[in-house]
Amino acid sequence: MDEISVAEFRTDVFDKEYITLNGTREGIVVGGRHLLDRLPRAFEGVDQIGVIGWGPQASAQSQNLRDSLAGSDVRVVVGLRAGSASAGAARAAGFTEQDGTLGEMFEVIAGSDMVLLLISDAAQAALHEQIFAALRTGATLGLSHGFLLGYLDQQGARFPEGIDVIAVCPKGMGASVRALYLQGAETNGAGINASFAVEQDVTGRATDRALGWSVGLGAPYTFRTTLRSEYLSDLTGERAILLGGVHGIVESLYRRFREQGMGETDAYRHSVDCVTGPISRTVSRDGLIGLYQRLDDAGREIFARAYAAAYPVGLELTHEIYDEVRSGNEIRSVILAGERLARFPMGRIDRASMWRAGEVARRDRDDEQLPLDPFTAGVFCGVMMGQIDTFIEYGHPYSEIANESVIEATDSLNPYMHARGVAFMVDNCSTTARLGSRKWAPRFDYLLTQTAYPSADDTNTQWDTTLVKAFEQHPIHEVLRECARLRPSVDIFVA
Amino acid sequence: MDEISVAEFRTDVFDKEYITLNGTREGIVVGGRHLLDRLPRAFEGVDQIGVIGWGPQASAQSQNLRDSLAGSDVRVVVGLRAGSASAGAARAAGFTEQDGTLGEMFEVIAGSDMVLLLISDAAQAALHEQIFAALRTGATLGLSHGFLLGYLDQQGARFPEGIDVIAVCPKGMGASVRALYLQGAETNGAGINASFAVEQDVTGRATDRALGWSVGLGAPYTFRTTLRSEYLSDLTGERAILLGGVHGIVESLYRRFREQGMGETDAYRHSVDCVTGPISRTVSRDGLIGLYQRLDDAGREIFARAYAAAYPVGLELTHEIYDEVRSGNEIRSVILAGERLARFPMGRIDRASMWRAGEVARRDRDDEQLPLDPFTAGVFCGVMMGQIDTFIEYGHPYSEIANESVIEATDSLNPYMHARGVAFMVDNCSTTARLGSRKWAPRFDYLLTQTAYPSADDTNTQWDTTLVKAFEQHPIHEVLRECARLRPSVDIFVA
């Protein structure tokens, strides 16, 4: 088993609080608009923050930071490849060459005291040597997840000495980081939680710069992790319940309901709509145990049977994915796939029959009337708990477990799938996530179909009731309650 | 692109012939019962052949070799782990401690001049140092595929100096190697083709020992490869069209036919039965082009549309698998999965609805009445040709391409799936193959469902007719004709 060891931290600018999650104290920083006037102190010594790239994270983060720093002396500048097709979009969002807030990426890197490197993982792997060479001595390099560390580890390479290396990793897709930040203007504290890591600290200011960055993005609360813990849980989570897992779950459930005789729209309501609507909303507000408690006795019986059948699949596949990630296989796969993309572009995933049915079904949907199908709830919770228990086994901090397994799903990804379908959700994530989701969704589908559903339907065999008992008593429920306390409950807004 | 370079070879015992495949001359050895009296010369200096293991290959090969060497002075001895659960089966097949033909594996290794290491890949990886240490100097180590070389490469390790390292790799599952050998008593030359490789030759006899081994197994013809070429094509082929691909194809087609309104049995006939019955029989006898020519004009039109939609999926996924194999990812995955097996045993794959329907459908099947569905034929051939073109691109010898993409499917694997269902076929292959098949079948299924079938059904768009034209003129057809000439046409017998 790998040792995940997350250190204490000290901040001179923000107020550190402690939360106790399953008996473990974690230091966190609670965010909010009222803290924005502390950002200049957090960014002391930083005149310019360069945000490199214009993918979903880069566009959201550059705008949030600019808005949070409005009126201060810290300038947010976007850096793009020369001739980038994204220049128009950046200009439309208010970053322009005229006022010096849009420029060529290597010039922006060289001109910035803090560089947030939010280009694709493949580009980070390909360009990291040039980027490292362009950074000023004493600059702070910021990442939004740990992929580059995993890649460097494999290559036997390292970050350059003489710079800070930090990470702030929002636990949600870029679109949510922006949308919930805008909602935060009305409801102070609405936003996407983030983890932060300090990998190198030569300035002595790395922690406060990271926390300033996170507060500036609008994170309701920010918890400590390490780059390694982050990429292990992040790459695993998006391949499992967050993207790949949920996609495989709903495909297999839709097919199951169709085989049981439901019409297309009904089957869609009981699978996709149920997961992305009532299940996600309930879990966001009341946790996993709240979902269970909403069911009547007959519903709980069905939930328990489905849960007992699906949990082993979630546990097995999350372990497999975790092994593939920590062995470096998954990172190598992403790099290899990137090299094939010009010849074999990623295909569409929403031309298959369920998603065509979903397009129709979403049109005349009444959210209040959506069914809370107990079988679907049991399968979804079973796979999710398989991921949670895998992360616990590997020693990840509870904040990371809760955010990377539950809150990112209910507060960011699933609402997008609810509004726009799976393709929109999956394909607005990073290329690394898109590839991972395409790779693992079918595995979840097959294992559920081959082993979980036949077990659940086998009425001759008593199912394993210890699993649902373990679920009822699981420490994750208290952890989710504590996390829920740290962010206001808002109806997630999808633009 | 990797260079696959296969050298010439020289035999003093057998008759080398040349075949010309797409303009390239390949040296081969044609087998047959009339050559068995040459085996003592081929095995000169070998008193004892130790066959280590009792998996499907080990049990088939030890029996074939013993029967082929009956009356000679060369003894075939089976070596098993102390306390192996397979000892009873080995005894039942006539290998006993009493007559010295069954023993503890390390003792058998130390006592043999030639050691055929047919234990699982995971066991080879775990035990190779002990095995290397137990081998006599000047012994010949025989493998039946190149996995161990791939594993050693990754570890930066090598085979010990001072021994021969050869491989004979039957292009079929163990059960077929035995069953067709028995049929060969009636029809001289019936059997499973094999490739051979000489990785190290310190005795100067390595080539003839390899050819003797192959002829003794009953290979209709034996062609030259390298260990590296073998494991690249073998691991890729079983993950693609041979096991994973064909499983994903029939699952996706069955679902498609069900969605189009067919009953369970009919859908099974048009998907699984059609592939494993009429398609495989026709291709075995008349090649891929023979299958196409059996269709009428309307059938060819449907075939062409399905082919054009499925070929890109076959090409893309076989490229991805090939990348994963040559990067070492797939070998690492197999090792990691092996370490998880005690906690997460491989689940059954035949409890899903199609295979339950298949059990019923196989019971009252009339083989003469099975449909040759042109859509199914187009999809199957499209994916198969994607694999063939991938192997051609990487420079594999045509014999290897034809056997690893077509003949192994039609002459070994598909007949077993026809008689016993997919689980029997998949789960009688090596653990490496079983894991690979479980990993990749769902990927074929999803890509066909998400991209190929919607494209084939999109009647507004003209499909790419150049693909089926390229198929009609493909050099593989002449290659398959030449290969067919080298083995008698028998109705494949499944015990």
Which band of pLDDT confidence, cut at 50, 70 and 90, is reported for residue B6? confident
- Is B161 annotated as belonging to a binding site? no
The CA distances from residue A304 to A273, A307, A339, A375, B201, in Å, are 21, 5, 44, 8, 62
Q: Does residue B400 lie in a domain region?
A: yes
Tell me: the pLDDT tens digits for B107-121?
Answer: 999 999 999 999 999
Q: Are residues A471 and A404 in the same domain?
A: yes
Residue contact B333–A332, C-beta within 8 A: no
Q: What is the pLDDT of residue B492?
A: 64
Q: Are residues B132 and B256 in the same domain?
A: no
Burial bucket for residue A439 (CB in 10 Å: 0-12, 13-18, 19+): buried
Which band of pLDDT confidence, cut at 50, 70 and 90, is reported for residue B2? very low
Residue contact A340–B349, C-beta within 8 A: no
Identify residue B50 by its one-letter amino acid code.
G
Q: What is the pLDDT of residue A494?
A: 66
For B261, which residue in chain A has the nearest alpha carbon? A259
Q: Are residues B206 and B263 in the same domain?
A: no
Q: Are residues B441 and B310 in the same domain?
A: yes
pLDDT at position B164 over 50: yes
State how far the Cα of A377 lies from the Cα of A466, in Å rounded to an integer: 18
Q: Which residues pair with A28 in a beta bridge?
A: A17, A223
Structure tokens belonging to residue A210: 């990271």
Q: Are residues A212 and A331 in the same domain?
A: no
Q: Are residues A209 and A283 in the same domain?
A: no
pLDDT tens track of chain A, all 495 residues? 445 677 789 999 999 999 998 888 999 999 999 999 999 999 999 999 999 999 999 999 999 999 999 999 999 999 999 999 999 999 999 999 999 999 999 999 999 999 999 999 999 999 999 999 999 999 999 999 999 999 999 899 999 999 999 999 999 989 999 999 999 888 878 899 999 999 999 999 999 999 999 999 999 999 999 999 999 999 999 999 999 999 999 999 999 999 999 999 999 999 999 999 999 999 999 999 999 999 999 999 999 999 999 999 999 999 999 999 999 999 999 999 999 999 999 999 888 889 999 999 999 899 999 999 999 999 999 999 999 999 999 999 999 999 999 999 998 899 988 998 888 888 888 899 999 999 999 999 999 999 999 999 998 877 788 999 999 999 999 999 999 888 877 666 665
Structure tokens belonging to residue A486: 């740290």
For A247, which residue in chain B has the nearest alpha carbon? B446
Tell me: the pLDDT tens digits for B217-246?
Answer: 999 999 999 999 999 999 999 999 999 999
Q: Does residue A351 lie in a domain region?
A: yes
Q: What is the largest CA-CA distance in chain A?
A: 73
Q: Are residues B284 and B415 in the same domain?
A: yes
Give contacts of B344 with chain A, Cβ < 8 Å.
Answer: 315-316, 319-320
Tell me: the pLDDT tens digits for B305-357?
Answer: 999 999 999 999 999 999 999 999 999 999 999 999 999 999 999 888 899 99
Q: Does residue A244 lie in a domain region?
A: yes
Highest mean pLDDT among B347-351, B389-393, B478-482: B389-393
Name the residue range of residue A65's domain.
16-219
Residue contact A323–B316, C-beta within 8 A: no
Tell me: the pLDDT tens digits for B181-194?
Answer: 999 888 878 899 99
Cβ contact B252:B419 at 8 Å: no
Q: Are residues A194 and A331 in the same domain?
A: no
Q: Does residue A282 lie in a domain region?
A: yes
Structure tokens belonging to residue B324: 């994963």
Structure ipTM: 0.93
Annotated catalytic sites of B, by residue? 145
Residue of B348, B442, B454 with shortest CB distance to A442: B442
Give contacts of A352 with chain B, Cβ < 8 Å.
Answer: 449-450, 453-454
Q: What is the domain count for chain A?
A: 2
Give contacts of A449 with chain B, Cβ < 8 Å.
Answer: 352
The CA distances from residue A114 to A14, A150, A164, in Å, are 19, 22, 9
CATH label of the domain that carries residue B409: 1.10.1040.10
Q: Are residues A371 and A450 in the same domain?
A: yes
Please identify, among A219, A254, A277, the residue that sits at the C-terminal boundary of a domain. A219
Selection from B479, B495, B492 nearest residue B24 by Cα: B479
Selection from A481, A455, A266, A479 nearest residue A379 by Cα: A455
What percentage of chain B reaches a pLDDT higher than 90?
Answer: 84
Q: Are residues B241 and B215 in the same domain?
A: no
Q: Does residue A224 lie in a domain region?
A: no
User: Do you know the residue count of chain A?
Assistant: 495
Q: Identify the residue among B450, B451, B461 best suited for mutation to test binding to A, counting A beta carbons within 10 A and taking the highest.
A: B450
User: Nearest CA to CA, how far is B259 from chain A (Å)?
Assistant: 9
> Crossing angle, helix B465-472 and helix B280-293, to 10 degrees?
110
Q: Does residue A493 lie in a domain region?
A: no
Q: What is the pLDDT of residue B86?
A: 97
**HSE (side-chain half, CA atoms, 13 Å) at B327:** 21
Alpha-helix runs per DSSP H in B69-168: 87-92, 105-111, 121-134, 147-155
A145 given a catalytic annotation: yes
Q: Are residues A265 and A376 in the same domain?
A: yes
Selection from A192, A211, A167 nearest residue A35 by Cα: A211
Please identify, among A188, A219, A250, the residue that sits at the C-terminal boundary of a domain. A219
Selection from A349, A146, A150 nearest residue A243 by Cα: A349
Q: Does residue A492 lie in a domain region?
A: no
Give contacts of A447 with chain B, Cβ < 8 Å.
Answer: 347
| Chain B residues with CB within 8 Å of chain A CB | 255, 259, 315-316, 319-320, 323-324, 327, 329, 332-333, 336-337, 340, 343-344, 347-349, 351-353, 438-439, 441-443, 445-447, 449-451, 453-454
Q: Does residue A405 lie in a domain region?
A: yes
For the entire predicted model, the pTM comes to: 0.94
The percent helix, strand, coil of chain B (3-state, each to 5) is: 60, 10, 30
Q: Identify the residue among A351, A354, A435, A461 best suited for mutation to test binding to B, counting B beta carbons within 10 A and taking the highest.
A: A351
Q: Are residues A136 and A273 in the same domain?
A: no
**Which candidate in A128, A145, A396, A474 is catalytic?**
A145
Give contacts of B329 with chain A, Cβ < 8 Å.
Answer: 329, 332-333
A17-20 contacts at long range (C-beta below 8 A, 24 or more positions apart)? A19/A399, A19/A482, A19/A486, A20/A482
Residue contact A340–B323, C-beta within 8 A: yes
Cβ contact A227:A199 at 8 Å: yes
State how far the Cα of A394 lies from the Cα of B390, in Å rounded to an integer: 39
The CA distances from residue A135 to A62, A106, A117, A132, A162, in Å, are 19, 9, 11, 5, 10
CATH label of the domain that carries residue A124: 3.40.50.720
